[in-house]
Every structure is written in C-alpha cells, then in structure tokens.
Amino acid sequence: MPDLKEVLINVLAETKEGKMAIEAILMAMRQKALKGDVRAAELLLDRGYGKAKQEHDVLAQFTNVIMPLPPPNPTLEITGTELEPQKERRALDAHDDEAEIEE
C-alpha cells in the first residue's frame, strides 16, 4: 500500500487552471462559510487558528478508602534482651583493644 500522506500531498498539489487542488478546496469552503455554512467556517478557523480552548471546573470529593496508607514513620520496638549481647560484645572488644595497647 502506498503511504497515505504521500498520496495526499500528490493529489492536493495537482494543479488545474493555475490553482492547486488544496487552494480550490479551501476557496470552496470559504465561499460556503461566507454564505452562512457554520461547519465550513468552523473547519477553516480550526485549521487556521486551532480549536478554541475550553476551560472546565471540576469539583470532586473522595469518601471511600480502598486501602489505608501506612503510618508515616513506623516505629521499631527493641527489647532489652536484643541489646544486651551487643553491649557485651562492645565491652569485650574494648577490653581486647586495651590489652593490645598495654602489650
């Protein structure tokens, strides 16, 4: 299949009576628009200036909770028994360091 864009370019660039096809189409649309054809005027203006921007005001309320969020700062519970082995190790390491210095 040929590329549609390329075919359109070739067809709309063809000339007849000194005018390109695209010019003839636009002039016909212009004549319709001047006679009151709103759709023809709309198409011409949209192509020339782009569609008019529309603003929308949206008011939304969300009341259903699908999944609760986790707490922002989870707290960790550390019992005394978990810290005691670490304290003993640190005390032993410190004692070993002192013994090495004395030697």
- Whether this prediction's pTM lies above 0.85 is answered by no
User: Is the Cβ–Cβ distance between 32 and 40 less than 8 Å?
Assistant: yes
pLDDT in tens, 39-48: 999 999 998 8
User: Is the Cβ–Cβ distance between 14 and 21 less than 8 Å?
Assistant: yes
**Paired tokens of 8:** 């359109």
Return the domain boundaries, the chain. 4-49
User: Is the Cβ–Cβ distance between 33 and 41 less than 8 Å?
Assistant: yes
pLDDT tops 60 at residue 20:
yes
**Paired tokens of 34:** 């001047």
Check residue 59 and give its pLDDT.
84
Helix (H) or strand (E) holding 15: strand 15-16
